[in-house]
Chain A
Amino acid sequence: MRINGVEIVDTFAEAFGMWGARFCVTAENSRWLDAAARSVTGFATSVIGCGCEAGIERYLDTSETPDGRPGVHVLLFTPSKKNMGKQLVGRIGQAVMTCPTTACFDALEGSERVPVGAGLRYFGDTFQVSKMLDGKRYWRVPVMEGEFLVSDSFGMQKGVGGGNFLIIGRDAASVLRAAEAAVDAIGSLQGVILPFPGGVVRSGSQVGSRYSFLPASTNVAFCPTLRGLVESALPDDSNSVLEIVIDGLDDEGVAEAMRTGIRAACIEGILQITAGNYGGSLGDHLFRLHEILEKSAGDGNE
């Protein structure tokens, strides 16, 4: 399969089951909204090193937020239900409650609930106030600025982490351009996030290492500087690779994001699109590139 002359390798991305939560952060203006959103999603690129993966799903219009202020939807993923509460309480407590003018609301209906405000309320030192409105409980926690408002519990659901594709090109500039185009295209979709910086990974990993103490190491097969030293997976003339990693609330969302991103990345200077996997034995969600792309009746298929 080729799109705009770019070869799409007949392979699959191997992703894993995760638990996902969506919450809404609002603030008085975009300055403080950005500050809170960046802070709460900071250092959340990979569950291996950060304990969770998080990112901004989308910015919200004032008509879409519970309190009519500028807002943002954040998605956060953890490998286990147990870890979700810890991550939400820690991050919202440290990165949203501390930020001037903010409030934080649950934005995912679901029977699986994790207490968040119910834990953060104790910061109020017995002066916190509960409010129940339309079947939802909120906590008003007194803070030096005034009050911090937070939902009592947050919904979570089974999601998918680690959907991915790799962009292989002739030079670093072309690959970066393609990755940026993919990130921009995926940015218009809901239900997915790209947890890495700017949505792009340059240091994709392989399972294991020549060092016994490391569980993962650089993906040598895709490192252009190692061609000739190791068994390379790179085509001739390729000199740079970037990876897009996608987490989503469901399979369909991740597949749609991969489809959208891959199509956007097939530009001048790109030689090949492939995906990272472990042979299909570790992950429980397999996204076959050809199957995903065949579903789109797009232009440029060859």
Chain B
Amino acid sequence: MMAMNENRSVYLESFIEDTLPVEAPCLTPGSVLGRSEKEIASLPVLVGNRKQKIGDIFRISRSGDDFLVVGGNLRHVKRIGQKMETGILLIKGTPGMHLGEEMSGGELRVEGDIPDWCLCGMSGGLAHVSGSAGNMTASALPGESRGMKGGVVVIAGNTGSRTGDAMRRGLIAIGGNAAEFGGSRMVAGTIIVCGRLARRAGGGMKRGSIIALGGVDDILPSFAKTCRYRPSFIPLYMKYLAEQGLPVDDSITSGEFVRWVGDCTSLGKGEILEHEVA
């Protein structure tokens, strides 16, 4: 993770006050950094059904081009960081839906919560959220058979239902609890839940790993218990999570896990590793 010096950034502060949805896919480091304030101000956005410019709804201050900071009232500003490929984007506050959708690279950091349908179709890069996430985080877009295809998502708080739906590759690490249907229809990849994993996790999963460190509410009957053991790869992930600032203690690396395999209604080669909570 890169250190950020806000003295060398482009800062965009939203001053929009109404609740009209704003679509601002242009707010990526690749589109903004390296441009003059005038050029940035002329980038197109959609406010409701009207075409407007960034300068109409954001105050722009530019002190460098190291990274992009977006702040202010962002609740209705959707698609920030969409298809982001490179650079660093820092969100101060809670953005609108579709944040980081189909991002393929770079680093996206959110100081706040994220709503439903964020980080869908992600294929690379790192997304770090200091708060909680809504439903369908890092899931497949409607109509798509594949969800997250790569990269790392770190949510310090809780996540809503169907997090990582149809995930194909990558890592989702959740510091808190994961709501129902976490990792549903997973094809591969890894989801780690430091808190509790809610019921119906892994429904329809083919392959992939869901690692529950804080217990599981319920396991679907289409999963079979195989054994209790100490997976040798867990310490690697724990080390990585600790580097990402998530709560990991030594009892996890030295403790045992119950391995459930399923979902037998699908290919059945997925797994839920349930840490035996003392």
Chain A residues proximal to chain B, CB less than 8 Å: 66-69, 103, 127, 129-134, 138, 140, 146-149
Contact = CB atoms under 8 A, between A and B. Distances in A.
B3 interface: no
B11 to A, nearest CB: 31
B231 A140 contact: yes
A23 to B, nearest CB: 15
Contacts of B233: 67, 131, 138, 140, 147, 149
B232 A131 contact: no
Chain B interface helix/strand/loop/mixed: mixed
Given A68-B253, A133-B237, A103 B232 contact: yes
A147 B236 CA distance: 14
B92 interface: no
A131 B239 CA distance: 15
B190 A131 contact: yes
B230 interface: yes
Interface in B159-200: 169-171, 188, 190
Contacts of A146: 227, 229-232
B231 A133 contact: no
Contact of B239 (A68, A103, A127, A148): A68
A66 B209 contact: no
B232 A148 contact: yes
B235 interface: yes
Q: Which of B232, B237, B253 has the most CB of A within 10 A?
A: B232
B275 to A, nearest CB: 15
Interface residues of B, number: 21
B124 to A, nearest CB: 11
Contacts of B231: 140, 146-147
B240 A134 contact: yes
A216 B190 CA distance: 55
Interface of B: 169-171, 188, 190, 207, 209, 227, 229-233, 235-237, 239-240, 253, 269, 271
28 contacts: A66-B236, A67-B233, A67-B235, A67-B236, A68-B239, A68-B253, A69-B235, A127-B269, A129-B207, A129-B271, A131-B190, A131-B209, A131-B236, A132-B169, A132-B170, A133-B190, A134-B240, A138-B233, A140-B232, A140-B233, A146-B230, A146-B232, A147-B229, A147-B232, A147-B233, A148-B232, A149-B232, A149-B236
A67 B232 contact: yes
Contact of B240 (A69, A103, A133, A140): A133
A249 to B, nearest CB: 25
Contacts of B236: 66-67, 131, 133, 138, 149
Contacts of B227: 146
A104 to B, nearest CB: 10
A146 B233 CA distance: 11
Nearest to B270: A129
Contacts of B207: 129
Given A68-B253, A146-B229, A133 B235 contact: no
A127 B239 CA distance: 26
Contacts of A66: 235-236, 239
Contacts of A147: 229, 231-233
A126 to B, nearest CB: 9
B241 to A, nearest CB: 10
Per CB-CB distance, the 8 closest pairs between chain A and chain B, nearest first, are A67-B235, A149-B232, A146-B229, A103-B232, A68-B235, A149-B233, A147-B232, A131-B233
Contacts of A103: 232
Nearest to B229: A146
A140 B239 CA distance: 18
B208 to A, nearest CB: 9
Contacts of A130: 188
Nearest to A139: B233
B232 A129 contact: no
Contacts of B271: 129
A270 B232 CA distance: 50
Q: Which of A66, A130, A133, A140 has the most CB of B within 10 A?
A: A133
Nearest to A101: B232
Contacts of A148: 232
A146 B269 CA distance: 16
A7 to B, nearest CB: 52
A125 to B, nearest CB: 13
